Amino acid sequence: MTPKISVIITNWNGLRLLQKNLETIIINSPEAGEVILTDDASSDQSLNYVSELQKKYSQIKIIHHSKNIGFAKNSNHAVKACHGDLVVMLNNDILPHPNYISNAIKHFTDDLVFGVGLAELNNENWGKFYWSEGYLQYEPGVSIGKSHITGWLSGGSSIVNRAHFLKLNGFDEIYAPFYSEDLDLGYRAWKSGFKLLWEPKSIVEHKHEVTTSRFPKRLLDYVKERNRLLVVWRNITDPSFLRSNQLALIGRVLTGPNYLKIILAARRQIKSNRPPIVFPKLTDREIFDLFK
């Protein structure tokens, strides 16, 4: 049975990017029964532009939030609202090549496949997890031109099994406004016994023109460090890894007292959010061993 396909495109004040990319996304996604723009309270003319485009492409749907809710919640709402068995998740600065969907959906005949990462042109790499210096670390794996397991899926260039995504409650909204949601979801998926793959024939161009660049660098660095710590505290259960994280935190506070603010901010996030959704089957060590 051929799965139903939905495409969702996250957007916040991305009129210029939509004008550049949206029609190509639609044309190169013939398998999709619906293409959903999920708009996070844009104040530019994004909605007007897409509303006009609906007259030409009936598969376009619009979800609009009157208040900005951040990438994770915006994406989660769209996945819940769509009708596809498989959901293509794209940022508005992604330009897919023809057959990017058809080259990936073959992997979903295996029901344990949580999702498939797309190959970003000139950066065709799968993701590798490892533990070092008290933190969950990640780096690009070596591309050999074949499909490969990957640690996580980019929230802006991947295809996921909708039922599996919803089972894990999607992106953990503790990471608001952005950063590390996709890393966290990938780790929880592996820990829950799912598989994540990367497909080199599913090619997209990533222009790296995302709207996070509009935020002050100081804020971006702060959120990155806070969320990096949250990934450990939300996911790692191995006692020896947690001890090494505690030692790493002591060292960071001693060498840079401002890091105490990061620790306190992470603790506040944990107190004000629900525990992560995970169905443990693999240990932390078993996950890291997959990528050795």
204: part of which helix (H) or strand (E)?
Answer: strand 195-206
Contact assessment for residue 106 and residue 202, using Cβ atoms and an 8 Å cutoff: no
Contact assessment for residue 270 and residue 233, using Cβ atoms and an 8 Å cutoff: yes
Per-residue confidence (pLDDT) for residue 24, from 0 to 100:
97
User: CA–CA separation, 10 vs 7, rounded Å?
Assistant: 10
Contact assessment for residue 206 and residue 119, using Cβ atoms and an 8 Å cutoff: no
User: CA–CA separation, 91 vs 105, rounded Å?
Assistant: 19
Q: What does the domain layout of the chain look like in residue ranges?
A: 5-213
Q: Are strands 113-120 and 195-206 parallel, antiparallel or unpaired?
A: parallel
Per-residue confidence (pLDDT) for residue 213, from 0 to 100:
59
What three-state secondary structure class fits 150? Answer: coil
Contact assessment for residue 43 and residue 13, using Cβ atoms and an 8 Å cutoff: yes
* Cα 134 to the center of its chain, rounded Å: 23
What three-state secondary structure class fits 153? Answer: coil
Contact assessment for residue 114 and residue 33, using Cβ atoms and an 8 Å cutoff: no
Q: Which CATH class name applies to 5-213? A: alpha beta
Q: State whether the Cα torsion 82-28-180-127 is positive or negative.
A: positive
The two structure tokens encoding residue 277: 């959704």
8: part of which helix (H) or strand (E)?
Answer: strand 5-11
A 10 A CB-CB count for 111 gives 11
In sequence order, the 6+-apart residues with CB closer than 8 A to the CB of 245 are 134, 135, 232, 236
Contact assessment for residue 81 and residue 73, using Cβ atoms and an 8 Å cutoff: no
pTM passes above 0.85: yes
Q: Give the helix, strand, coil percentages of the chain, each rounded to 5.
A: 40, 25, 35
Contact assessment for residue 138 and residue 90, using Cβ atoms and an 8 Å cutoff: no
Q: 273: burial class by Cβ within 10 Å (0-12, 13-18, 19+)?
A: middle
Each residue's pLDDT tens digit in the chain (292 positions)? 789 999 999 999 999 999 999 999 999 999 999 999 999 999 999 999 999 999 999 999 999 999 999 899 999 999 999 999 999 999 999 999 999 999 999 999 999 999 999 999 988 889 999 999 999 999 999 877 899 999 999 999 999 999 999 999 999 999 988 889 999 999 999 999 999 999 999 999 987 655 555 667 888 889 999 999 999 999 999 999 999 999 999 999 999 878 999 999 999 999 999 999 999 999 999 999 999 9
